[in-house]
Amino acid sequence: MSKYDIIIIGSGLGGLECGTILSKEGYNVCVLEKNELFGGCFQTYRRKGHLLDTGIHYIGSLNEGQMMHQFFRYAGIMDKLKVRKLDENAFDKVYYKNREYDYAMGYESFIDTLCKAFPGERENLRQYTALLAEVGSLISVENLKKGIISTEGMKYFNTSAAGMIARITSNPDLQSVLAGSALLYGGLREHSNFYEHAMINNSYIQGAYRFIDGSMQVADGMINVIRGNGGTVLNSSEVTRIIVENNRVQGVEINGTEQIEGKYVISNVHPKQTLTLVDKNRCIKNAYISRINSLENTYGIFTLYLIMKEKCYPYMNRNLYLHGDNDVWYNKKNSMGRTTNCMISTQASSRNSDYVEVISILTPMYIDELSAWLNTLPEQRGEEYKAFKKEKATQLLDFIKSHGIDLTGHIEAMYTTTPLSYRDFTGTCDGSAYGIIKDYKCPQIGFVSTRTKLENLFLTGQNLNVHGALGVTLTSIITCGELLGHEYLAKKIGHA
């Protein structure tokens, strides 16, 4: 039986970051991925010779001296990444009530740009960016250098995102514009907390970049580092059981057959899924299992990928957020079966920087909309599922057209994914895009510790704290800090 110091279940960003950190620190690690392709949401797949990204359209805090840059530098991959900085004058464009509003990079530019549309709002916008900066500074390279991973931000988790924006400005149009990219965090007026809103928006205002030729280069880079450090990374290796004896995890079972031994196991899989894998034991109580099972997840995403005709449609170095209703916050009741908002992102390709090859269009979708196919497997969902996806794609293209963007004549081929795709490929509960909701009314309920009651089983990934590249990275550092010491690891990354 193979033996490892650390077994990591899942090769999403969280799993690979933990594998990178721990293999750099001399542990013998083994990362197990159920799919053929590594990377989870950092996976890029090919259709008609083009690369399609599954779950990363842009990444923030990537300027030198900022968190993501520093982490990738520590990991040893930053200088190998192919990235393109988004348009500093308009990295995001929000379409709302027949007008377009740009988000510019840098606090002063952000304020100046929005002041053109809202001239009387300069002081309020200053207050808004100051708050974003305050939340953003809870995680910084300066803190890491001092041995601090993150400073306390609970009061912002306890604050409503929509409520805080409304306290900053009474102008309803500006409120909507500031919440215009809420799709980035599964934004819901009644639930979303200000911490996530601010952390994510701040990271993009600091430095928003797009990967050239797909985000999978991050996964590939970290896999090379892990293997270079003597670690093992295996695909087509689904963990089907976490073996517990004498109240300690002994190892895992792969694909229902082979067993491997590990001193520690880290799960990058949703905590609810993880618990279904763990052998019955006396440490993990039923109350904990019930709590985890009861946690709500964010909505999922329907993605329409457009393969564009050659040299036909210009590449846009920004993302577009389109809104059809007066309320930019997604509302399940109003929006089921309709398209009320979407995000358009053009993928960057090294083959051509003037024209776009692939456009991704994302819109929220709850798995409830797919109830007819809940008990089906991929490729076995039949003609009605195909017709449903085609109808949704047409609806999305019409929605975009109603905002003055007509893509129809430029499309060579279309592909779609639904929350069921994410449920079945990356194993996210309910096909959720961003995992467990941290509702501002009771965020503590949504927080799951990186530690479990089994002392050698740890958790990591987007469900624990904040999702997205930045949030998952923070959690990876916390998870690995449980083994290495938080202060030691923070300093190591901060001074890399």
Residues of this chain that bind ligand FAD (CB under 6 A): 9-15, 32-35, 40-42, 55-59, 238-239, 268-269, 301, 303, 362, 422, 426-428, 433-434, 461-462, 467-469, 472
Choose between 265 and 362: whose C-beta lies nearer to ligand FAD.
362
* Nearer to ligand FAD among residue 171 and residue 421 (C-beta): 421
Nearer to ligand FAD, 15 or 207 (CB): 15
- Asked if 249 and 242 count as a contact pair (C-beta separation under 8 A), the reply is yes
* Cβ-contact 234, 30 below 8 angstroms: yes
Instruction: For the CB of residue 34, give the shortest distance to ligand FAD in the complex, in Å.
Output: 4
What minimum distance in Å lies between the beta carbon of 159 and ligand FAD? Answer: 22
Q: 118 or 425, CB closer to ligand FAD?
A: 425
Contacts of 470 (CB under 8 A, 6+ apart): 60, 61, 67, 68, 139, 199, 200, 203
Q: What is the DSSP letter of 280?
A: P
Q: How far is the CB of 460 from ligand FAD (least distance, A)?
A: 7
Residue 164, CA atoms < 13 Å, CB-side half-sphere: 26
481 burial level (CB within 10 Å; 0-12, 13-18, 19+): middle
Are the C-beta atoms of 426 and 219 separated by less than 8 Å? no
Buried b (16+ CB within 10 A) or exposed e, 220-233: bbbbebbeebebbb
Minimum separation from the CB atom of position 252 to ligand FAD (A): 8
Nearer to ligand FAD, 107 or 434 (CB): 434
Q: Is the dihedral of CA 236, 222, 434, 153 positive or negative?
A: positive
Query: Least Å distance between CB 310 and ligand FAD?
Result: 26
Nearer to ligand FAD, 10 or 443 (CB): 10
Taking the complex as a whole, how short is the minimal distance between the CB of residue 270 and ligand FAD, in angstroms?
Answer: 8
d(CA 187, CA 399): 20
Angle at 458 between CA 215 and CA 285, to 5 degrees: 130
Question: What gap in Å lies between CA 1 and CA 479, rounded to an integer?
Answer: 26
> Strand, coil or helix: what is 364?
strand
Of the pair 35, 346, the CB lying nearest ligand FAD is at 35
Find the shortest distance in angstroms from Cβ 277 to ligand FAD: 6
| Least distance between ligand FAD and beta carbon 30 (Å) | 11
Strand, coil or helix: what is 464?
coil
**Between 14 and 214, CB nearer to ligand FAD:** 14
- Looking at the Cβ atoms of 141 and 277, the one nearer to ligand FAD is 277
Rounded to a whole number of angstroms, the minimum distance from the CB of residue 457 to ligand FAD is: 14
Look up residue 404 and give its DSSP letter: T
Query: Rounded to the nearest 5°, which phi and psi values hold at 249?
Result: -75, 130
